[in-house]
């Protein structure tokens, strides 16, 4: 039986060679939002992995939208030049499609890097600033509350998402993921834990979905037809009376009506009170129900580490693609090893063709080699 993991996946007019997607993974290594040589090395090795899609880390729409002062951004010409330099190098040697995750951290902005503790940095600190969110409700106790976005702010933030999307299109990026998960701004609008508004953007499910859907529509309008645009969502807050799976299904149906070809399904992140039940593939049931009830192409993530585990999820119809983050950092050749294990084939750069193991004579696609 052909490995489902290595079958092509079609998202609008974009065809991926296989169903292994590299998830966005923040590196906290940019300077003033600009990509650095670290991104050249990091993205370069992942681009050679043989995966079907490489998603750039959460990329901020403004300086205030960054999680940390060292986050990647795409909000001015300097950011665009720096990222363009990295992508030009990647594309010269690795023909992998690139997706960008466009993001605003909301009240979880102005943080320290994880290896420095990850806590909120006060606004008066050189690496801190006043955050902004749906409501003036802090993420954690003893944190500085965010500025509550007013009508003019909402227009500004929408416009910032659009401007970043336009820059991504200029850079030739083939797909766009909007970050609506992990407690960041769009998720904050969705979750009643973070959204205490009494206007048209708060209260009912329809109102809480309004701003994320407006941002989706605005970005979809400026991304060329055929280039897919979708959301990453947290399907549950893991907190009582928080955002839940029923609401996520409703959001998925609304996004499908808006033209989204897919949904990237994660969980959690909006509250320190979350009680996550960890285990292998622990988020897959959420993707499974969304796929079953909406018919959207569904991307599963969360402690998926083994090739046969990923293959089983797809063979059982629980999701349509597998997104890998930590597993890919640990093993940047994960798709090669998965293809070998599952009897499939994968693309590798010609400079590495000689590494094909003797027992897998047909592992790499389109190889040719000779030597005097």
Least Cα distance to 291 among 263, 254, 326, 257 occurs for 263
**b/e string for 335-365 if b means 16 or more Cβ within 10 A?**
bbbbbbebebbbbbeeeeeeebeeebeebbe
In the annotation, is 184 catalytic? Answer: yes
Strands of the chain (E only): list them. Answer: 9-11, 14-16, 20-22, 53-60, 98-103, 132-133, 147-148, 175-180, 229-234, 262-266, 297-300, 321-324
Q: How far apart, in whole angstroms, are the C-alpha atoms of residue 363 and residue 172? A: 30
Q: How far apart, in whole angstroms, are the C-alpha atoms of residue 215 and residue 280? A: 33
DSSP assigned state of 31: B
State residue 56 phi and psi, 5-degree precision. -65, 155
Q: Among the options 28, 75, 184, 286, which is catalytic?
A: 184
| Residues labelled as active-site residues | 184
């Amino acid at each position: 039986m052909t490995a489902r993991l290595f079958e092509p996946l079609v998202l609008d007019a974009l065809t991926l060679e296989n169903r292994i997607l590299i998830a966005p993974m923040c590196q906290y290594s940019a300077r003033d939002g600009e990509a650095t040589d670290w991104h050249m090395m990091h993205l370069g090795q992942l681009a050679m992995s043989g995966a079907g899609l490489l998603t750039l880390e959460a990329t901020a729409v403004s300086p205030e939208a960054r999680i940390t002062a060292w986050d990647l951004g795409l909000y001015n010409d300097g950011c665009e030049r720096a990222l363009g330099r990295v992508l030009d190098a990647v594309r010269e040697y690795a023909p992998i499609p690139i997706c960008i995750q466009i993001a605003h951290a909301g009240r979880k902005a102005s943080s320290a890097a994880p290896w420095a503790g990850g806590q909120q940095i006060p606004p008066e600190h050189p690496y801190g600033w006043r955050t902004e969110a749906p409501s003036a409700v802090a993420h954690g106790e003893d944190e500085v509350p965010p500025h509550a976005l007013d009508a003019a702010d909402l227009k500004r933030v929408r416009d910032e998402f659009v401007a970043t999307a336009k820059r991504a299109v200029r850079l030739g990026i083939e797909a766009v993921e909007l970050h609506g998960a992990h407690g960041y701004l769009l998720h904050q609008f969705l979750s009643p834990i973070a959204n205490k508004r009494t206007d048209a953007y708060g209260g009912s499910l329809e109102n809480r979905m309004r701003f994320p859907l407006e941002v989706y529509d605005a970005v979809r309008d400026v991304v060329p037809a055929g280039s897919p645009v979708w959301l990453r969502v947290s399907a549950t807050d893991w907190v009582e009376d928080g955002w839940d799976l029923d609401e996520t299904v409703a959001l998925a149906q609304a996004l499908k009506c808006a033209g989204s070809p897919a949904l990237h399904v994660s969980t959690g992140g909006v509250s320190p009170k979350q009680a996550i039940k960890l285990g292998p593939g622990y988020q897959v049931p959420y993707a499974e129900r969304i796929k079953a009830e909406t018919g959207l192409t569904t991307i599963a993530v969360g402690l998926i580490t083994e090739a046969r585990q990923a293959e089983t999820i797809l063979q059982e119809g629980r999701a349509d693609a597998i997104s890998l983050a930590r597993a890919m950092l640990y093993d940047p050749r994960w798709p090669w090893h998965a293809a070998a294990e599952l009897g499939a084939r994968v693309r590798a750069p010609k400079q590495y063709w000689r590494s094909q193991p003797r027992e897998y004579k047909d592992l790499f696609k389109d190889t040719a080699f000779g030597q005097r």
